[in-house]
Amino acid sequence: MKKLPIVYHKKILVLGLAKSGTAAAEILHDLGAFVTVNDAKPFDQNENAQYLLSKGLTVICGSHPEDLLDEGFSLIVKNPGIPYTNSVIAEAKKRGIPVWTEVELAYRISDAPMIGITGSNGKTTTTTLIFEMLKQGQKHPLIAGNIGTVASSVAKEAVGDNTIVTELSSFQLMGTEQLKPKIAILMNLYEAHLDYHADFQEYTDAKFNITKNQDASDWFIYNGEQQLVMDYAEKSKGIKVPFYVSKKTNDGISADDQFVYWNGEKIFERSSIALRGKHNLENVLAATAAALLMDCSLADITAVLTTFHGVKHRTQFIREWKNRKFYNDSKATNALATKSALEGFSEPVILLAGGVDRGHSFDELIPYLHRVKALIHYGETAERLQKFGEEQSIPTVTGVNNLVEAIEEAVKVSDVGDVVLLSPACASWDQYASFELRGDEFIEKVIALKE
């Protein structure tokens, strides 16, 4: 871990604990800072605050006192989930106090280079693929950020021959100043998190921070088929590596119906990729480009691609049962995500969908419904999905009470060669606390099917 003179013997405020705040506070303390932590959760219910107090840090819990900033802090490190409209953060900005998220701290203390991955969709799968490829190639990767261990905790332990593969959200990137990944990846940009960001411009500008500080010694991998991403790429000073999923090109990494190409040269057949879907092809191309830039061999890359069946709950292959294939895409909480999943299948699909009714349209699914032989629905959206399925002339549209019954019905109506796909197009909260719990139940019941 690098020393950080900017914090040594300086008063630092860590605002918001949870995992990232607790890790940042402890690291800053170890670096010789005078750390105060402030968290809204009461002290008697706050294990993280109790732990930090035992380490000798100053702890203020239960509220954000109006006079908190009068202590003369030279820096604030905030939990990414705390918005910039928070009164303490807003006042800090007025006073000119720098505000970081802990990934900025992670970058500054790390002895290892970083690969940073961001975008509206595909971050987790791309991050996981890169990690697996580097591991296969014996490049000593570590995984961090949204997907795994807190980035600063990983950076604290990293050494020079490691590479930190880091999934980065707009929340994290907005609080960076010097962050400069060796390889930065911007997957795509769609409207998201507008309840946190002031507007779409602020959101996309935050995403651009992943490459803002790069120079000609770094690489910037980006979506060469989305105009907004291309516009941001023009501003990057990194070496540009675009990816294209719909055509062969002579620059960057690209794919046609049969092959994947690196700078126009054929490198492997698309049929060797286990992951399904155009959206996953974006992830595969971005990850492959990063692995090639890190000197992984094609043999190591394809060894991962032929065996990697997806991150949990993201078009994840579960098993083949009586020549039917079951996929868990519980992460698909809107129609756009379900559309992307359907796009990846040429086989007949039995679609399991439903959940919280947020009034969203299902019309984005229409171009891909010719692949759906049966729609089995449940939850709050049942009535709307029944009507939608009938209007679109899906051969079988059936309503059930819950996901377990939907699996049972799918088994009854399925034939050899079918795909049974859980891709709900709805949030889970009417029957499950999270999409993860919904997906876990699907996995459990599918694995339990008797031969």
Query: From the annotation, which residues make up the binding site for ATP?
Result: 119-125
- CA 140/CA 161 separation, integer angstroms: 7
- Partnered with residue 377 across adjacent β-strands are 353, 399
Q: Write the DSSP string, 17-33.
A: -HHHHHHHHHHHHHTT-
CB 143 within 8 A of CB 150: no
- Kindly list the distances between the CA atom of residue 200 and the CA atoms of 189, 194, 394, in Å, as whole numbers in the listed order: 10, 7, 36
- CA 332/CA 340 separation, integer angstroms: 9
| Each residue's pLDDT tens digit, 184-239 | 999 999 876 777 788 899 999 999 999 999 999 999 999 999 999 999 999 999 99
Quick one: how far is CA 315 from the chain centroid? 14
Residue 191 DSSP symbol: S
Query: From the annotation, which residues make up the binding site?
Result: 119-125
* pLDDT the model gives residue 64: 87
CB 101 within 8 A of CB 171: yes
**Burial grade of 70 (CB within 10 A; 0-12, 13-18, 19 or more):** exposed
Q: What is the pLDDT averaged over residues 362-378? A: 96
CB 432 within 8 A of CB 438: yes
Sheet holding 219-223, edge to edge: 141-145, 163-167, 114-118, 183-186, 219-223, 239-244, 253-255, 259-262, 265-269
Q: Is the pLDDT of residue 165 over 80?
A: yes
- CA 257/CA 364 separation, integer angstroms: 23
Q: What is the pLDDT averaged over residues 246-270? A: 97
Residue 149 DSSP symbol: B
Q: What is the pLDDT averaged over residues 390-407? A: 98
- Kindly list the distances between the CA atom of residue 243 and the CA atoms of 40, 73, 212, 290, 299, in Å, as whole numbers in the listed order: 43, 44, 19, 11, 20
Q: Is the pLDDT of residue 295 over 90?
A: yes
* pLDDT the model gives residue 405: 98
* pLDDT the model gives residue 97: 96
Q: What is the pLDDT averaged over residues 248-264? A: 97
* pLDDT the model gives residue 213: 98
Arithmetic mean of pLDDT over the chain: 95
**What's the maximum distance between 2 C-alpha atoms anywhere in the chain?**
70
CB 198 within 8 A of CB 150: no
* pLDDT the model gives residue 81: 86
Domains located in the chain, CATH noted: 11-97 (3.40.50.720), 104-305 (3.40.1190.10), 316-447 (3.90.190.20)
SS3 82: coil
